[in-house]
Every structure is written in structure tokens, then in C-alpha cells.
Amino acid sequence: MAQFEEVSQKSAYGTAGFRTNSKQLDHVMFRMGLLATLRSKKTKATIGVMVTASHNPEEDNGVKLVDTMGEMVTPAWEGYATQLANTEQEGLLTALKDVIDREAISMAQEASVFVSKDTRPSSESLSQAVLDGVHALESHSKGALTLGFNYTLIFDCWFELQKLVSSYKQVYSFVPNRTDDQKALLVDGANGIGALKVCEMETYLKKELQLSLFNDGSSGKLNHLCGADYVKVQQKGPIGVEMSAGERCCSCDGDADRIVYYYCDSIATLISTYLKELLTQAGLDLQIAVVQTAYANGSSTRYLEDTMKVIVRCTETGVKHLHHAAQEFDIGVYFEANGHGTVSRKPTCTYLHTNLENAALLLQNTVNLINQTVGDAISDMLLIEAVLTIRGMTVKQWDAIYTDLPNRQLKVKVADRSVIGTTNAERRTVSPAGLQEAIDSLVNKHRQARSFVRPSGTEDVVRVYAEADTQESADALAHEVSLAVY
């Protein structure tokens, strides 16, 4: 049974659940085990608990609940999570009863919880604490219990891997004579779970894709000097990967739900352009939209709206927001600038399967490459490879679709980041007073400039983003805005 520690600092269910140094998480894990069990009883379905801190340092860890369709839980349940995580041990029973009453949960209902973990050393004992929580609740109620346990939730089973592999082979059969150069892809596994999966897949795809895996977890530390976040934020190649000109390279993050291709982050542009062309060729009148966040480069937004004429929506940061917005369209493409994303399609789009015209067949196979839950770096990688193959494009040509405005991201440590309130999909601040006016006047001093600040949902920092016509200008603006925040 997990030990309860004194809850010193208030933890909040952030952008992707709780996240902090792994030493402070034991009690939070236990309580998420309790809450997942309640959620499962309420929904009468399986609930996932994912133990990971994704791209954060190996010393950190985190936990998020995964709802019945693979999505994040609703705001009300995030609220319960925060409440449970911060309750003193004496108040825990009352807090639990409160959730049970408010949600009218029948404790006799069967529960089914699936716990997954990434490859961090601390994930072993922390996932055990989740299981302890599940067992603790179940031993006090009459409900039967199903418990699953594995490594990552996404993309775990062999069957799923085979489905991706065979869809990729099908797509590939449309363009069989790809040169060796075009088939070569360098993959940075970030010393995490993605490395294990790429290793497994490599053997099945030898003919179609030559994967060279780096940072495979055999020696390096998770996310250390490698991985999607490092590459994106530091704008540097990962350690151990020697890239030569024109080579395609991509990086997963620690739990393999993000992917970044260098030196290009216009994944959504590439995919939506391709899907739109296929829809036109197949004569299908479906609504396609791209969902972005404030971090999306201004040039990509302009290109999508003005040239591609696709619908563009902006939401708050975090897959949970983008995913819901994407689901409102027949086909919704979303990729955050940091590499998180996927393509969702409405169930009504399944009639694609009955149309066997060439374009539709290709569309069907392409769609089968997509893992529609909240994002899976390995399926995204195969999707991008498929699009590049079909279009006969090099990374350079992809990069040339539009030109990103130079940009800079910084983080600022402040005493209390929660004083910063935002609106309009985090593009403007509403508090503290005067901050937005200060940002506006700094932005006005630069050309083609845009800047915003928001409290991070995964780290104790405020994030600053700036873009402008030159790198010097973007750097200066980011710096000036940081000072205004501080």
C-alpha cells in the first residue's frame, strides 16, 4: 500500500494531468487509482491511467486519466482529481464519498482499469501505487474488477502494429520504386518507449522503409539531449544522430505521442494539403479543418487559410482541447507545433470504405494509418512517410511549402504563475492588469510580429512565444516580453 505523505504544495490537474518530480507523486498515484476506479464504475467502461511525464526530464513523472474513448477526462473529473490529490489523508474518505454522491455512482458496479507506464525508472513503483489505489477501493466494495497492465497504452498490441505495417505496405504498393535515399529515415527514439516500438517495426518494413534508430534506450537517459522537445525548443539535432544534407530525421518524445520532423514542423500543412487533394480527386464533399494553437507559426495559418482554403481553428494548448475541436469536422487535422497530433474523422466518413476508386482506396489506406486517439508518434511517422512517398516529395520540398516566420520560445520563472490569466485561445492575457498593453506596445515595435505568454500546464514556469520577420527581431521581442512578465 502506498504511503501518504504530507501534501505540502497544491498540485493541479494540468495540461496533461499531474506532473512534477517523481518523489512527490506517490500519494497522487494512489488517489488516481481510486478515482479511475470510480470513473470506470460511472461509465461502465474501461478507464486508462497513464504514468508518464512525456518529454520532461527522467527525474520527473506524472499521471493522467484516459477516458473511455482514449480521450482526456472532462473538466468536472479533472476537478475531482485536483481535489483528491490535495486532500489531507484524514479527509480522503469524505472527498471520495463526495464524488460518489455527486456522480451517483453505484459501488456494486464492476470496474475495469488499465494502467500503463513509460520506461522511466520511477514508473515501476508509481504505477504500483496506482494499482494499490484500485485494489484499495475494490476490496471495500462488492464490484468485480478487471485490471490490465502494460507499457504504453497507445499502440501497444501486436495486432495494432501489424495493422499499421500492412496499411503502410498497401500505400507503398502505389509507388513501388522509391529510391534508397527516399526510403531512409533517421529516428531519434529519445531513449523511451518509441525506441522499443521502432525496433519491433523495423524488421517488418525492411523493403519499404529503412529506419535507422538512434537513442534506443540502451545507454542514454530519457529525453536527455534528445527527443522531440529538445529538438524543437533548442532547434538542435539530437545527440548521437549524424544528419547529412537532405536527410529526413524525426524525433519522438519519451512516451512516443509527439513527433517532430526536421527541419520542418508543418506536419498539419503537409497532411491536410494531401488529404484535401485526395478528397477532391475522389469527388468527396467532406469538410476538412486544421486545428492549431497560438504556437502555430503565423505563416502556416496564412498558407492554410489563403492558399489551401481549409478551415483553421485555434484552441488552447493541449491535445485535449485540439482533439475536441477537430472532432467537430468530417476530417480534423491537428498537430501542435511541438509535434503532438493526429487526424480525426467522423464515424459517418466510413462510407469511404465502399468506394473502390483509386483515390478513395488510397484515402482509405491512408486513414487506416492514423491512430485516431490522442496521438501516436509511430503512426504519425508512417502517415508522413506515406504522404511523402505518394507525392514523391523530399523534405526540402516539404519545407518549401511555406516559410516559417523566425520565432523564439522562452520560459520565465515567476513567484506564482497562476496570476497570469489568458483568453482567446491563450493569445491574450486578462491578468495581471497592464500586461497585455505592455506586450502590445512591444509587438508594435517589430515587423510581422506576434507574441503571447501563458502559464505552463506541465512545469512551474510562464512560457513566452514571439515571432517576427527576422530571427534577431523574434529573439529581441521574446526577451522584452519576458522582462514584462517578470
Q: Which residues bind ligand 16G (CB under 6 A)?
A: 15-16, 54, 257, 317-320, 336, 338, 340, 374, 456-459, 463
Identify the bridge partners of residue 292 per DSSP, sorted by sequence position: 314
Nearer to ligand 16G, 37 or 56 (CB): 56
142-152 burial by CB neighbour count: b if 16+ within 10 A, else e?
A: ebebeeeeebb
Per the annotation, binding residues for Mg(2+) are 54, 253, 255, 257
By the rule CB under 5 A, 119 interacts with Zn ion? no
Q: Which does 376 bind (CB under 5 to 8 A by kind): Zn ion, ligand 16G, none?
A: none
Q: Classify strands 428-431 and 421-423 as parallel, antiparallel or unpaired.
A: antiparallel
Q: Which does 123 bind (CB under 5 to 8 A by kind): Zn ion, ligand 16G, none?
A: none
Shortest spacing between CB 228 and ligand 16G, in angstroms: 10
Q: Which does 138 bind (CB under 5 to 8 A by kind): Zn ion, ligand 16G, none?
A: none
Nearer to Zn ion, 25 or 284 (CB): 25
Site for Zn ion in 347-386 (CB under 5 A): none
Shortest spacing between CB 258 and Zn ion, in angstroms: 5
User: What are the C-alpha distances in Å from 137 to residues 78, 147, 174, 385?
Assistant: 19, 13, 53, 46
Nearer to Zn ion, 258 or 345 (CB): 258
Q: What is the DSSP string of 379-410?
A: HHHHHHHHHHHHHT--HHHHHTTS-PPPEEEE
Q: Which does 463 bind (CB under 5 to 8 A by kind): Zn ion, ligand 16G, none?
A: ligand 16G
Instruction: In whole angstroms, give the CA distance from residue 23 to residue 26.
Output: 7
Residue in 108, 120, 96, 75 with CA at minimum distance from that of residue 32: 96
Shortest spacing between CB 474 and ligand 16G, in angstroms: 18
Question: CB 73: neighbour CB atoms within 10 A?
Answer: 23
Nearer to Zn ion, 321 or 450 (CB): 321
Site for Zn ion in 20-79 (CB under 5 A): 54
Q: What is the DSSP string of 237-268?
A: PPTT----TT--EEEE-TTS-BEEEETB--HH
Q: Vertex 86, ends 83 and 87: CA angle to 5°?
A: 80
Instruction: In whole angstroms, give the CA distance from residue 269 to residue 256.
Output: 21
Nearer to ligand 16G, 144 or 419 (CB): 419
Q: What are 25's three cell numbers?
A: 507523486
Shortest spacing between CB 244 and ligand 16G, in angstroms: 31
Shortest spacing between CB 355 and ligand 16G, in angstroms: 33
Shortest spacing between CB 142 and ligand 16G, in angstroms: 35
Q: Which does 456 bind (CB under 5 to 8 A by kind): ligand 16G, Zn ion, none?
A: ligand 16G
Torsions phi, psi for 161 (to 5 deg) = -65, -45
By the rule CB under 5 A, 253 interacts with Zn ion? yes
Task: Return the residue nearest Zn ion (CB atom).
Answer: 54
Q: By CB neighbour count within 10 A (0-12 exposed, 13-18 middle, 19+ buried), where does 402 fall?
A: middle
Q: What are 220's three cell numbers?
A: 542514454
Catalytic residue status for 212: no
Question: CB 241: neighbour CB atoms within 10 A?
Answer: 19
Nearer to ligand 16G, 172 or 261 (CB): 261
By the rule CB under 5 A, 255 interacts with Zn ion? yes
The catalytically annotated residue of 54, 344, 451, 473 is 54
By the rule CB under 5 A, 123 interacts with Zn ion? no
Q: Which does 255 bind (CB under 5 to 8 A by kind): Zn ion, ligand 16G, none?
A: Zn ion
Q: By CB neighbour count within 10 A (0-12 exposed, 13-18 middle, 19+ buried), where does 278 fall?
A: buried
Q: Which residues are tagged catalytic?
A: 54
Where do contacts with Zn ion occur on this chain (CB under 5 A)? Answer: 54, 253, 255, 257-258
